[in-house]
Structure 1
C-alpha cells in the first residue's frame, strides 16, 4: 500500500514556464510511483486588479495576467496524468487581494492523514507551519527551499552596492545611480537580513529542508539544519541527437529565463549594455535571442533602442525552447547574483549548446572553466568568449560533449531519482507515523492525563502576578492549560500568584468544571466580549503587581513565572513582554524540537541554563501570552475593545506601548507551547472574517504606520501597485 503525501505549492507547477516549476513537476512524477500525492495549489500569489493591468503579487515580484490565464485546466490535467490529485480548482476570475487573504488549509489537513507534507518555499511554510504541526503531528514536514532566498538577496544587495554603475529605464537610457537608488540599496540590505532570520527560523521547525546546490547544503549544515539534496533534474533524452541542430548554420547567443525572477532581468540588461557594446567594438554583429516568460518593458525594448538593438530578438514565452536553442551558437548566462542552480544552463547543455557563464552559474552546476564551459565576468570577457565559440569549432565541440557527459553523470533524472527516494526514506520515521496514525483525531502533542488535576493555592492578598486565562468553550484545551499552570505553581511555590479564568459565554461544561478547581477565580460572561473585552474584565479583577494575559490553548512549564518576574525586575522601561513560542516567527528559537510533555519540560529546563536572563527587543509581542507590568496598564490603559471578537488587539496595544516610550521584549529563556486558533476553529467562528475585520480597523486607526507595522511584524504579502515600469540597476 502506498504512503500518502500532501504537497503545498504557490500554484500548480507551470513546468514549461519556469525551471523551478519544471523541477517540482519532475519530483512529483518520481514520487508518485511511491506515494499517493495530493496537491494543494494556494494561488499564492493572489491576483489583484490594477487600473492598467492584472498582476500577481508575491514577495519577490509581479506576475503578468497571462500567468493567471494559463494555470487552469492544462496544468491540472498534467498533474493528473502523472498520478497526482489536485485538491482545489483555480478560480477562472480575478480574486480580491487583501493583505490577510490566504487559503484555509485546515479542511484539507483534517480530511486525511498524510505520511509526508512537502511545502514549496519557506514563506509558504511560514504561513501554515502551525496548522500542519497541529493537525498532522505524525507527518514528516519537508520544505523545498528551491534556493536559499536570503543568500540570493544578500548577493543582490552586495551587487547593487558595489557593482552598479548605471541605471537603465525602459527607453534603454542610462543615468548614474540616484539617491533614491542608494536608499533602496540600504533598505534591501535590511530586508535581506530580515529574510535570513525568518528563513532560518522556518527551517529550524521542519524535519528536513530540500536544497538544490552544494553551497546551499553547506550553509544549512553550518546552522545545524538537516537537508535533502535534490538539484534540478534534467531529462537529457528529451533532446535527442536527431533533434539537435548541427554546428553549421548556428549563429548568435541565446539567453533563456523566466522574467518573473528578478535576476534574469538584470542579466538581460547586462547583455544589452555591457556585452553588446563590447561586441560592437570588436566588429561583431551577432544576434541575441532573449527567450522566456513575461519580459518587462525594460527587457522588451532591448530590441527597439540602444546598442545593437537590431541584433536583439525578444520572444516572450515559447511552448518549446529547442527551436531557439538550435539557432544559437552559444548560450549566455550572466548570473550576477543569486543562489542555487540555474535551469537555463542545464537546459542549454542538454540541447547541445556550449555555455558562457559567471562563476556563480558554473559553481551551481559544478562546471569547470575550459572543460565544461567558459567562465567570464565582465562584458568584454563575455564578448571574447562568444567570439571564441564562433571561431573555434574544436573548442565548441569539446565543451559541448564534456558538458553533456557531465550532465548525464551528475544531474540526469536516473541518479537524482535514486537519491531522492533514498533521502526521503531516511527522513521519514515509519514507526512514528504508524504510532501516531493509530489515533488520527489527536489534536496536539500533549494529553491532560499526563498532569495531575489542577489545584491552586489560596490567592495571596497582594500577589506578584495575576494570570488571566480567557476561554470560550473547548474545556479539554482549557483544562490542559490550567493543569500546566497548577503544576508549574506547585514546582515554584515561592511565587505569589493568583489565577483567574474569564469564561466568555461558553455553552459547554467550562464554567461548571472550572468552578470545582480549588484556588481558581472564575469570572463568567453571558455574552462573548471578544479577546479585548474578556481580558479587560480579567485585568480589572486582577490584584497583582503584574498581569499575564494567557490564551487557553497554551501549555506552560515549571519555572516560567520566576523567569518572567526576574526579567521584569531587570529590564528598564519594560512595557510588554512575551515568551518564546512555536507559532510566532518573531518569538521563535531555532532548532527547537519536542514530541511530548516530558520533552517540552526538559526543553524549558535546558533553556533556563542555556539562555538564562536572555531577552530581545520585539517588533510585536503576540497576544497568546502578554506580561503587563502594572505601570504599563496605568500608563497605556486597557485593550481596545473596538476590534470585536479578535485579531490585531495585540498589535494595537504594542504600538500604544511604544508610543508611551516603553519597550516590547520577548524572553528567550521562557517557552510557552501554543496550539493556535482553537477557539476559532472549534467554535465554527470564521477566523478569516475576523482577521480581515481586525486588519481593517487597525489600518483605519493607524494609517500608513499601521501598514508599515504589518509588513514588518507579520511579513504579509502587501499589495504593491504596478505603476510604471521600474528602472534596472546593472
Structure 2
C-alpha cells in the first residue's frame, strides 16, 4: 500500500477549529484513494487533538532543523507528502526533495495566509470591508505573499478551499491553474427533519476559535459596535459567544446585564448552533471559507455575516443576510430574529446550499480523480512547471543552508 506522509503544522483539533475539521476530511479522502497515512508534526500535542490511531493513522513527533528527519523520510519512503500550510513546506520541503524526489508533493494551503494578512493590515489602516475584500496590491504584495506563492509553485499540487482564492492566484499572481485544485469543506447531506423550528429556538450565537485573529476581532466588533444596537431593540435577547481557547481579555467581555455571554469552549458546536435562532459572523477580514457558516447551514440556522464572511461560500442558494456596516448588520439581525417568515425563507435555503456547494460525495470523487491524474502524469506536470523547478533549485538551497546552520548552532 502506498504511504502518504502528512507534515502537520499542528495536531488536528476538529472540535476547536474549521481547519482541524478540514484536515480530518482530507485524511479520509486520502484513505479512500488507497493511501496508508502517517501524520507527523513538530508541534506540541494538545489535549483537544484527535486520536489519529482511532482512524488507522500512525503518528510521530518530528524536530525542526534536524537531520533526524532525513532518516525518518528514508524509513517511511512516502509515495506522497502533504505539507499542512506553506510554513511546513518551507521547513521540510528541501529534505523531501533531496531524499524522496519522486514523491508527489502536495500543499494544503488551509486559506491564503498572505490574503488574510493583507486584509488584516488594510482593516487596521481603517479600510472599509469592501476595500478590504477587494484588496489592493499595496497590501497584497508582501514578503509573506512572496514566501507563500513560492511554496505553492514549488509543490506539485496545492489544495484550495476557496474558488475566490483560486482566481486571485491565477489572475493576480499568475499561478498555473494546473497545479491548484478546489476542495472545500464537504459534508454529508443533513437530515432537515431534525432541525428545530423558529419558535423552538432562542438567542443569538457566535462561534470561532479565539486564537484565530479574525474571530477575536469579530467578537470585539460585536461587543463594541453591534450588540448594543441589537440589545436596545431586543432587551431580553442574549448573545452566546463560543470558541476554543478564550483568553482572559475575551472572558472579561462577559456581561450578563448586557446579555453578552462568553461561554468559551463548546463540547458540541452543532448543538449550540442548532439551538440558536440566528448566528452572527461580522468578520472584517480573513480568507478561505468560514466553517461556522457551513455549520450553521448544516444545522438549519440562518445567519447574518459580512461580505468577507460570505466570500466563496454561496452560489444560487444563500441562507444568510449580508451587511458590511455595524448599523445595517444590527438592523438585519433584529429583523431576522423577529420575522418568522423571513427566517423560514432563509432556513429553506440551507439544505440546497449544502447540496450545491459542499456535497461530500461529489468533492471526494473529484479529489480522487485529481489525485489519480497527478500520480499518473507527475513527470509531465513537473516539466510544464518550470517556475517551480527554478524555485526549488534556488530557494530550497537557501532554506537548506539556513536549517543546517541552525542545527549546527544548536549543537554548540
Query: For this structure pair, what is the TM-score category when the shorter chain's length is used for normalisation?
Result: 0.7 to 0.9
More helix by share: 2
RMSD: 3.2
Q: Determine whether 1:68 maps to 2:15.
A: no
Distance change (3 Å), C-alpha of 1:311 and 1:112: same
The counterpart of 2:87, out of the listed 123, 127, 131, is 123
Q: Specify the alignment match of 1:80 in structure 2.
A: 53
Q: Specify the alignment match of 1:690 in structure 2.
A: 408
**Aligned with 1:14: secondary structure?**
coil
Q: Specify the alignment match of 1:409 in structure 2.
A: 356
Q: Specify the alignment match of 1:359 in structure 2.
A: 307
**Aligned with 1:294: secondary structure?**
coil
Q: Specify the alignment match of 1:303 in structure 2.
A: 254
* Structure 2 counterparts to residues 644-683 of structure 1, below 5 A: 674=397
Q: Specify the alignment match of 1:711 in structure 2.
A: none
Q: Specify the alignment match of 1:246 in structure 2.
A: 197
The counterpart of 2:166, out of the listed 182, 205, 217, is 217
Measure how far apart 1:249 and its partner are: 2.9
**CA deviation digits over 1:388-425, x for unaligned, max 9?**
21222121111111122111222121111112112222
Separation (CA, whole Å) in 1 of partners of 2:378 and 2:232: 67
Distance change (3 Å), C-alpha of 1:367 and 1:274: farther
Q: Determine whether 1:230 maps to 2:183.
A: yes
**CA deviation digits over 1:101-144, x for unaligned, max 9?**
66942122111322211111001111011001111111111101
Q: Specify the alignment match of 1:425 in structure 2.
A: 372
Q: Specify the alignment match of 2:42 in structure 1.
A: 43
Q: Determine whether 1:330 maps to 2:278.
A: yes
Separation (CA, whole Å) in 2 of partners of 1:285 and 1:388: 15
Asked whether the 8 Å contact 2:122–2:139 carries over to 1, the reply is no
Asked whether the 8 Å contact 1:141–1:208 carries over to 2, the reply is yes
**CA deviation digits over 1:622-658, x for unaligned, max 9?**
xxxxxxxxxxxxxxxxxxxxxxxxxxxxxxxxxxxxx
Distance change (3 Å), C-alpha of 1:676 and 1:120: closer
**Aligned with 1:387: secondary structure?**
helix
Measure how far apart 1:4 and its partner are: 2.3
**Aligned with 1:224: secondary structure?**
coil
Separation (CA, whole Å) in 1 of partners of 2:124 and 2:395: 41
Q: Specify the alignment match of 1:268 in structure 2.
A: 219
Q: Determine whether 1:201 maps to 2:150.
A: yes
* Structure 2 counterparts to residues 556-575 of structure 1, below 5 A: none
**Aligned with 2:261: secondary structure?**
strand
Q: Specify the alignment match of 1:112 in structure 2.
A: 76
Q: Specify the alignment match of 1:631 in structure 2.
A: none
Distance change (3 Å), C-alpha of 1:162 and 1:402: same
Asked whether the 8 Å contact 2:231–2:258 carries over to 1, the reply is no
Separation (CA, whole Å) in 1 of partners of 2:221 and 2:319: 23
Structure 2, unmatched stretches of 5+, are: 129-137
Q: Specify the alignment match of 1:290 in structure 2.
A: 241
Q: Determine whether 1:34 maps to 2:33.
A: yes
**CA deviation digits over 1:481-518, x for unaligned, max 9?**
xxxxxxxxxxxxxxxxxxxxxxxxxxxxxxxxxxxxxx
Separation (CA, whole Å) in 2 of partners of 1:376 and 1:110: 53
Measure how far apart 1:21 and its partner are: 0.9
Asked whether the 8 Å contact 2:94–2:400 carries over to 1, the reply is no
Measure how far apart 1:244 and its partner are: 2.9
**Aligned with 1:35: secondary structure?**
coil
Distance change (3 Å), C-alpha of 1:227 and 1:147: same
Q: Specify the alignment match of 1:380 in structure 2.
A: 327
* Structure 2 counterparts to residues 699-714 of structure 1, below 5 A: none
More strand by share: 1
Asked whether the 8 Å contact 2:11–2:46 carries over to 1, the reply is no
Q: Specify the alignment match of 1:342 in structure 2.
A: 290
**CA deviation digits over 1:73-127, x for unaligned, max 9?**
xx23xx23333222x159xxxx9xxxx7669421221113222111110011110
Separation (CA, whole Å) in 2 of partners of 1:134 and 1:214: 33
Measure how far apart 1:594 and its partner are: 6.8
Separation (CA, whole Å) in 2 of partners of 1:358 and 1:590: 39
**Aligned with 1:143: secondary structure?**
strand
Asked whether the 8 Å contact 1:9–1:39 carries over to 2, the reply is no
Q: Specify the alignment match of 1:713 in structure 2.
A: none
Separation (CA, whole Å) in 2 of partners of 1:20 and 1:318: 16
Aligned residue pairs: how many? 394
Asked whether the 8 Å contact 1:3–1:34 carries over to 2, the reply is no
**Aligned with 1:302: secondary structure?**
coil
Asked whether the 8 Å contact 1:362–1:368 carries over to 2, the reply is no
Asked whether the 8 Å contact 2:118–2:139 carries over to 1, the reply is no
Asked whether the 8 Å contact 2:105–2:155 carries over to 1, the reply is yes
Asked whether the 8 Å contact 1:9–1:120 carries over to 2, the reply is yes
Q: Determine whether 1:154 maps to 2:105.
A: no
**Aligned with 2:83: secondary structure?**
strand
Q: Determine whether 1:13 maps to 2:21.
A: no
Distance change (3 Å), C-alpha of 1:217 and 1:293: same
Which structure is larger by alpha-carbon Rg, 1 or 2? 1
Asked whether the 8 Å contact 1:117–1:141 carries over to 2, the reply is yes
Measure how far apart 1:24 and its partner are: 0.9
Select the structure with the greater relative contact order (CA < 8 A; seq sep ≥ 6). Answer: 2
Structure 1, unmatched stretches of 5+, are: 47-66, 165-188, 434-588, 601-670, 681-685, 695-730
**CA deviation digits over 1:529-585, x for unaligned, max 9?**
xxxxxxxxxxxxxxxxxxxxxxxxxxxxxxxxxxxxxxxxxxxxxxxxxxxxxxxxx
* Structure 2 counterparts to residues 160-179 of structure 1, below 5 A: 160-163=124-127
Q: Specify the alignment match of 2:99 in structure 1.
A: 135
Q: Specify the alignment match of 1:320 in structure 2.
A: 268
